Structure 1
Amino acid sequence: MYRAGGTLTGERDSASGVFRVRRLGTHLPPAPRSPAEARTFVADALRSWDVPGDKAGDIVLAASELVTNAFEHGSGGIAVRLRLAGDSLLLEVRDCSPDDPVLRRPQPESVRGRGLALIQALSSTWGHRRGGDGKWVWAEFDLS
């Protein structure tokens, strides 16, 4: 199980039918190895939360794409956060760049530029928001 920098907070469990809220986050360096570390971190978290394999695969791929974008187009350290609440999972990735993410429409022969289109296709919804000296790019996934 991935443990470097991860913290679990906000765990709630109630016999009265209130769902659990699970949160997990980690910090990654601005390095070529960070997308692989993000995949391991997210896959381990989803497995421990019993997220179904087909949904988990989509979320792991989305995390890899968002961390790759943060490394290639952002600056500074990268943060990854997961929040599971009921049948909804929120994936957030932060970098220190103030630049908005750009959804591209690459040419068919292009081998790059499809990351955010992939996020759009895999998630229920996605977007970004400014935070501190950078931005958070997020994607929400319906697990039902």
Structure 2
Amino acid sequence: MGITRTRQAYEFPTGIAPPLGEIRAWLRERLSKVGRATIADTELLTTELVTNAHEHADGVAELRVSVPSGRDVVRVEVDDRRPRLRPHRVTKRDPTSPHGRGLALVEAISTRWGVDTGAGFKTVWAEIPLP
């Protein structure tokens, strides 16, 4: 398939909002061999996870993307430093609310997603299927 299977991390500038356009360009460069639809899904999903970390968890510590060996998925991982603040599964959406659609998009796009915590950090991850 010709896809780089190593995990690659994006370096976030401190003290400013995440540069979403730069992040999308960074993803396109690293995932150039997975197909346009997968890249578009990965860009949308990553933008949602990064924005959530920025708005609700005092910023993003790190973003990683990989195509795990032996698996037909793109894996996105977003770290922040608020392990106690955990996103929750979408149960019911209020159509009049301006919020609450980000994780619904993550659920719709990914084959699975979840949250891992450690000492002083949280990782929200999601996997996008490869065609």
Specify whether residues 59 and 112 from structure 1 end up closer, same or farther in structure 2 by C-alpha distance, changes over 3 A only. same
Unaligned runs of 5+ in 2: none
Report if aligned partners of 1:76, 1:95 keep a CA contact under 8 Å in 2. yes
Q: Which residue of 2 aligns with 1:38?
A: 23
CA distance in structure 1 between the aligned counterparts of 2:107 and 2:59, rounded to whole angstroms = 25
CA distance in structure 1 between the aligned counterparts of 2:119 and 2:20, rounded to whole angstroms = 23
Report if aligned partners of 1:94, 1:134 keep a CA contact under 8 Å in 2. yes
Specify whether residues 84 and 27 from structure 1 end up closer, same or farther in structure 2 by C-alpha distance, changes over 3 A only. same
TM-score, normalization by structure 1: 0.76
Is the counterpart of residue 107 in structure 1 residue 129 in structure 2? no
TM-score, normalization by structure 2: 0.83
Unaligned runs of 5+ in 1: 1-12, 14-18
Specify whether residues 83 and 135 from structure 1 end up closer, same or farther in structure 2 by C-alpha distance, changes over 3 A only. same
Specify whether residues 34 and 97 from structure 1 end up closer, same or farther in structure 2 by C-alpha distance, changes over 3 A only. farther
Over the residues paired in the alignment, what is the CA RMSD in angstroms? 2.1
122, 126, 129: which is aligned to 1:135? 122
Task: Considering fraction of residues, name the structure with more strand.
Answer: 1
**Higher-RCO chain (CA-CA 8 Å, sequence separation at least 6):** 2
